[in-house]
Chain A
Amino acid sequence: MPPIKLTLNGKPWSVDADPDMPLLWAVREIAGKTGSKFGCGAAQCGACTMHVDGQPVRSCSTPIGSIAGSKVTTIEGIAEGPQAKVAKAVQDAWIKLDVVQCGYCQSGQIMSAVALLTDTPKPTDQDIDSAMNGNLCRCSTYVRIRAAIHEAAKALEI
């Protein structure tokens, strides 16, 4: 089987893997980038959220063979890619408001929040609910996630 060719965080990435292997495990175990987390393996929790060609996807349920040629961005690369400005605003807001508790869900939360603010620079609470509903947080940091998204949106206006 020829290697699968993609772009990972702006760099060419050629993966020698079973095409059915979920993107999450290819990134974590083959590329060695562990910022994206395994929470359910079934597109239920969002801990594994990455961007594929700018769109948020649940990488645990995305076979790597199905996205050959795509541009994959993970939490490790989001602050440097084309969404750097939004990502910085989101991460700054996260830090300013001390959103995190255990932190395990937060890479996924941030990836979803960056995608939301890229499409919808001034989200309403309803926009946040629908964009972030797929990202579970067992520590229930939801109050602060909502506040931080609004905070980031405000920072991006300026």
Chain B
Amino acid sequence: MPDGHMPENLDSTSRRRFLQVTGGAGVGLMVGFTWTATGRRALAAPAAKGLEPNAFVKVAPDSTVTVLVKHLEMGQGVFTGLTAIVAEEMDADWAQMRAEHAAANAKLYNNSAFGPIQGTGGSTSTYNSWTQLRQAGATARAMLVAAAAQTWGVSASDITVSKGVISSGTHSAKFGELAAKAAALPVPADVPLKDPKNFTLIGTRLPRKDSVEKSTGKAVFAIDVVQPDMLVAVVRRPSKFGAKAQAVDAKAAKAVKGVVEVVEIPRGVAVVATSYWAAHQGREALKVTWDESQAEKRGTDAIIADYKALLPKPGELVTKEGDVDAVKAAKVVKAEFSFPFLAHAPMEPLTCVVKLGKDGCEIWAGDQFQTVDQANAAQAAGLKPEQVTINTVYAGGSFGRRANLESDYIVEGVAIAKALSDAKVQGGKLAGRPVKLIWSREDDIRGGRYRPIYVHGMEAKLGADGSLLAWKHRIVGQSIMAGSMFEQKGKPDNTSVEGAAEIPYDIPNRLVDLHTTTSPVPVLWWRSVGSTHTSFAVESFIDELAAETKQDPVAFRRKLMEKHPRHLAVLNLAVEKADWGKPLPKGWARGVAVAESFRSVVAHVAEVSQDEKGRIKVERVVCAVDCGIAVTPDVVKAQMEGGIGYGLGAVMFGAITMTGGVVDQSNFDTYRCLRIDEMPKVEVHIVPSANPPTGVGEPGVPPLGPAVANAIAALTGKRIRDLPFTGTVSV
């Protein structure tokens, strides 16, 4: 799963703070949450003549088994992978399985990896659902078997289930035939789970559950949701982060045909119309003057220079092993790295539909952070969290963007609906009309919540024999967690240092420290979070040290990695499959990198070439991944392919820059993203594993950048220190 990352197990202060955010009683209020306002299914009500043994599985009379997926399907494949877990334990046929998004309900659908909330992020979907969904499926199966035993007068132990058919001797029945009977039985506790040796679906190639809809234009995203009487809104936001609207002249905007109203909301000025095109034109005509007294006015060059100025000074201690300063070195190697702001730029711009009534608010969104969004929407609407209904629909990508602690786009949507419901606005006649808020691509690129700018300072001390004696790593950057419920006060920000605090290399003396900076520019987790920059610095620098000491980069890593067999196995698989050491065509070179993130380990070997004009092309990437049991291996492969492409575009040319506080980029012409002709060939190899599943959506990203940079260094001798690569080489 692409996306956000939160420290596990919130400490009690954070929990308390969260409970406060949700209005005092917090999660407890979610108990008994039902959907009466809009006529959606009541969670507790049994399906007509079907079986609903728990919050995750429904067996219909026609034998369709529906898995209620608590996570957002945003491309990472949860509809397929999570459904496979249930199907496996039920011994169902893959064709009878379907998936749908579960209702928002923190009590039922908590993410145990970072709860107490329902949310998707940190590549935790499979990891935190594994046991839960196995139990859910096994329980459903046990009830169907018990119903069969009762019906046929046989012992449950004489019953077998295979591909959705329950049989015993001459008896046989499909799930649906026994569902009603099973529903009348008590729900058993502690049903034994399958021995993984007997898995028949998990670990095999299963067709994606969303392929047909998404290949025929039928899949519904938030931008496609239509409600009767719906209005469409766009918002004019300030061009500088931290500015506020001072004066609004809406006359010309209101004169545009189709524009219905212009309202001020805390984050800007909304133009509300009968269609997107009218709203867009209205916004073009809108005149707003901004109070920029609190705004960020620095450019990104100045921010990076400010961060670099902090590098000589010791920061907050993150890791200390041995005594770096006491080491006498034969040689000292230093390097500084800088990383720009990055926009997520999911293919579907941020969108939500909000229907606000007097005592309820219904939201349709590719919602990634249901509980947080309920709480924030409630606050914006003046309601209680349990009065906010969220209908989660497919998201057109996210990469972390849709999960943010202020619920920015959701709160905007609610604020517009709330403003329209004011009796002073057109006598209240717009009250209750559903509103679809659409961000344009320009809004998205300029809207902030970027991967923060980071600067890294590295220093290594080498012995006369080329051994690595000491390692110093200083990180400077803005915290994603500061001020949020996930902030761990008194501890260095994990999202700034993950991937650097712990590394799989045994170095006797190691010091990692951190300067946390602040800025009005809002920042956010971006597919693989801290590892987007830490892994680049660590893996580039390790590679450089190998080169400095004239050692093969693989051999150098292997030696330092002896006590990390999992990393070593992944590295070995990747280099073996990539024919490391075998000759390449003239003008080509290889580079390697390995990184652990979200409990998985990935190694990439990148092959790059350079043409006569000096332009670098990434030809092929060979990937090895250990993600525990690969539930649906083809989804794992797809996530590695996707992570490679997403990571490659970002390191080669991804950058949000600002001049005088104003973002220079606006659309895909200036915020360049990877295109098909730039996509390398990809080969993915999965390490066989019997361990529970770990992350897949993000871990493909971190080692990609350094593997390519190391290949470029091997080919050209140029070490890339400042990202994106376009500043150093032509790509």
Contact = CB atoms under 8 A, between A and B. Distances in A.
Interface of A: 18, 21-22, 25, 28-30, 32, 34-42, 44-45, 47, 74-76, 79, 91, 94-95, 98-107, 110, 128-130, 132-133, 135-146
A79 B216 CA distance: 9
Contacts of B549: none
Most buried by A among B347, B397, B681: B347
Interface residues of B, number: 62
B211 A94 contact: yes
Given A44-B668, A141-B641, A103 B214 contact: yes
A136 B348 contact: no
Most buried by A among B74, B217, B440, B441: B217
Given A132-B676, A141-B642, A104 B348 contact: yes
Contacts of A39: 347-349, 441
Nearest to A25: B277
B673 interface: yes
Contacts of A76: 217
Given A29-B276, A94-B215, 12 more contacts: A34-B220, A34-B224, A38-B276, A44-B667, A79-B216, A95-B215, A100-B211, A102-B214, A130-B677, A133-B675, A140-B649, A141-B638
A17 to B, nearest CB: 8
Given A100-B208, A133-B675, A143-B679, A138 B395 contact: no
Nearest to A17: B277
A60 B694 CA distance: 40
Most buried by A among B223, B396, B438, B676: B676
A146 B219 CA distance: 22
B396 A102 contact: yes
Nearest to A146: B676
Contacts of B224: 34
A40 B667 contact: yes
Nearest to B438: A38
B109 interface: no
A32 B217 CA distance: 13
A150 B228 CA distance: 43
Contacts of A44: 441, 667-669
A103 B676 contact: no
B382 interface: no
Given A98-B634, A103-B214, A138 B208 contact: no
Contacts of A25: 275-277
A141 B208 CA distance: 14
Given A100-B211, A103-B213, A42 B669 contact: yes
Interface string B58-80: 00000000000000001111000
Contacts of A21: 277
B221 interface: yes
A141 B642 CA distance: 6
B19 interface: no
Most buried by B among A76, A104, A130: A104
Nearest to B213: A103
Given A38-B438, A105-B347, A100 B74 contact: no
A29 B674 contact: no
Contacts of A99: 211, 215
Interface string B381-406: 00000000000001111110000000
A139 B214 CA distance: 13
B277 A103 contact: no
B724 interface: no
Given A99-B215, A110-B215, A128-B676, A138 B345 contact: yes
B218 interface: yes
B296 interface: no
B333 interface: no
Nearest to B351: A38
A37 B645 contact: no
A147 to B, nearest CB: 10
A138 B397 contact: yes
Q: Which 9 pairs of residues, A with B, have the shortest CB-CB distance?
A: A140-B645, A35-B217, A104-B396, A103-B214, A102-B75, A101-B75, A75-B217, A142-B679, A34-B224
B638 A144 contact: yes
A42 B667 contact: yes
A140 B347 contact: no
Contacts of B257: 18
B604 to A, nearest CB: 14
Given A37-B223, A45-B668, A98 B397 contact: no
A3 to B, nearest CB: 15
Contact of B346 (A28, A102, A133): A102
Contacts of A138: 345-347, 397, 399, 646, 673
A66 to B, nearest CB: 15
Contacts of B226: 32, 34
Interface in B643-677: 643-646, 648-649, 667-669, 673-677
Nearest to B77: A101
Nearest to A76: B217
A140 B646 contact: yes
Contacts of B277: 18, 21-22, 25, 29
5 contacts: A34-B223, A100-B214, A102-B348, A133-B676, A146-B676
B212 interface: yes
B217 A140 contact: no
B392 to A, nearest CB: 14
Most buried by B among A36, A106, A128, A132: A106
A94 B74 CA distance: 18
Most buried by A among B345, B441, B669: B441
